Structures are given as structure tokens and as C-alpha cells.
Structure 1
Amino acid sequence: MSELDVAGLQRRLAEFAASREWQPYHTPKNLAAALSVEAAELLEIFQWLTPEQADRVMEDPDAAHRVADEVADVLAYLLQFCEVLGVDPLAALSAKIDRNELRFPVGRPPGRSARATEAGDRHSSE
């Protein structure tokens, strides 16, 4: 059975945890901590690589497997975290993109939000 949608994956993760009686440990704090640890493990793969080496990391089958496993771990903990707190991850992402489109309009220099630019414009005209 292929459940490659967010809700289906969340159900599979919940069933996996329930069958092992792990639910008492799946608190928001513990899941956030686990998510952070797994993200750090993903970063560790790239820690000492040059930008060029990092761009080619998926060409090495062993490194590609490690990256895929860590991505899976990060996503699993994020989906479990969202499930426990009742956050719809796709809706949250869509809303964040909407806010970022307003905050960082096309044509603004990188690193300058609309608010920072507007504040700078106000100060330069005073």
C-alpha cells in the first residue's frame, strides 16, 4: 500500500509509534529535540565539504544514501511534531510563502526585507 501523502505518512508514523508504545515519549519538546538532532546529522554530512563537493554529494552512492536517510529522519520527526500539535505542515508552508512574498518583493536586494528597506527609506528622507 503506497501512502505518499502527508496525512498517509503521518498515519504510518503514528501506527509505528503506537505499536511500540512510544506515544508517551512523543511530546512536542522531545520531537523538537529529535528534529534538531536529525537536522544536525544531515549538516554533519556536509560539515567539511567545499561548496563544490557539496554540490556533487549525491554522486557518491554511500553519501547519497546517508543524505536520503537523514532527510527521511528530519521529515519523520517534523511530521510527527506537526501531528502532535495539530499543525497542517502544507498549510503552514503555504502561509509562510505568502508572507515571504510580501516581505521580500521581487527586485529587492538579497537580505533586505521590505520592512528594513522601508525603515531605511523613512530615515533617508528625514
Structure 2
Amino acid sequence: MRVGACPGKEARRAAITFGTLLTGYDGDGHTRCVSDLQEIRDAVRQFIAERDWQQFQDPKSLLLALVGEVGELAELVQWLPAEEARSRIAKEPLHTRVAEEMADVLIYLVGMADQCNIDLHEAALAKVERNSRKYPVSEFLGEAPHRG
């Protein structure tokens, strides 16, 4: 989890970073920000510690929990016609159910990153950069990549 992803600090990154939190000012009057992912990580660490569940927090167990939660998310939309999915998810009660399952997915993903000592923020930005080279606009504008 990365500290210092402040809006305005790096315009390019700020444009694709979806979560930062203003946490105050340092001694020199500079804005301090912390990644939303770090806040989630810290909240989950506290939740786990309060229940003495550390012994259940290993990469394999978290991955299996993550897969289960992705399945629960998929189950909510699996039989919806593709052209209706967005509008149906925008309405209750499905909107809340999807948000809850997405939160579970994110929590387990952040927990797995924590257990594996992976900076998820940096890994995601690096992956977007690699994909931008792999799928240049000049070749993929309006075209889905094909596996073949």
C-alpha cells in the first residue's frame, strides 16, 4: 500500500488513481495523503487482531476466500441479459448487494496483497502501463483483444 499518492503531486497518476485520503499537513505545511487501500488494510488488520484470526490469514486461504466472493458477485448477475445488467445494478436491492460483494472481493484482495507484501497500488499502475504498450490505441481502438 502506497503512501503519498496525493492529487496534484503527479498529474498522470492522479488521473488514474481512484483513491487517496487527505490526512493533514506535515511540519513543513505540505499535504499528506494516504492510499484508500492502506486505510482498508489497516481496518482489516484491526478487525482480524480483535478476533485473534491471524492464524487464518495466509495467501492460500485468502485466495480461496477471494475466489468464493468473486463467485458470489458473479451469481448476482449471471442470468441478467448483458444489455440490462448496468441498469439493473443501478437499482435497489441489487445495487447494495453488488456493492457488498465487491467490498468483500476488495477486502480479501487487499488482505492477500498485505500477506504477500505486494504494493497493490504500484502493481496496478505498472500493469496498466504494460497493457498500454501491449494494446496500443492505434491497433485496438474499439477492438477487443483476441486470444488465439
TM over 0.5: yes
Q: Which has the higher strand share?
A: 2
Find 2:59's aligned residue among 28, 42, 51.
28
Quick one: distance in 2 between partners of 1:100 and 1:112?
Answer: 14
Percent identity between the two aligned chains? 34
* Equivalent residue letter for 2:38: A
**Structure 1: 4+ residue segments shifted above 4 A:** none
The reply on whether 1:17 has 2:48 as its aligned counterpart is yes
Q: CA RMSD in A?
A: 2.0
Find 1:84's aligned residue among 68, 93, 115.
115
The reply on whether 1:7 has 2:54 as its aligned counterpart is no
The Cα of 1:52 is off from its aligned counterpart by 2.1
Structure 1 unmatched ranges of 5 or more: 117-126
* Equivalent residue letter for 1:48: W
The Cα of 1:108 is off from its aligned counterpart by 1.4
Find 2:145's aligned residue among 108, 111, 114.
111
Give the aligned partner of residue 132 of structure 2.
101
The TM-score normalised by the length of structure 2 is 0.70
Structure 2 unmatched ranges of 5 or more: 1-22, 24-33
Quick one: distance in 2 between partners of 1:54 and 1:73?
Answer: 20
The Cα of 1:4 is off from its aligned counterpart by 7.2
Q: Which has the higher helix share?
A: 1
Quick one: distance in 1 between partners of 2:107 and 2:38?
Answer: 12
Find 1:48's aligned residue among 79, 83, 89.
79
Q: Does the CA contact (< 8 Å) of 1:28 and 1:81 recur in 2?
A: yes
* Equivalent residue letter for 1:52: E
Render the CA deviation track for 1:25-49: whole Å, top value 9, x for unaligned. 1110000000010011101011100
More displaced 10-residue stretch of structure 1: 6-15 or 53-62: 53-62
Quick one: distance in 2 between partners of 1:63 and 1:94?
Answer: 30
Render the CA deviation track for 1:54-92: whole Å, top value 9, x for unaligned. 121233211011000001000000011001111111100
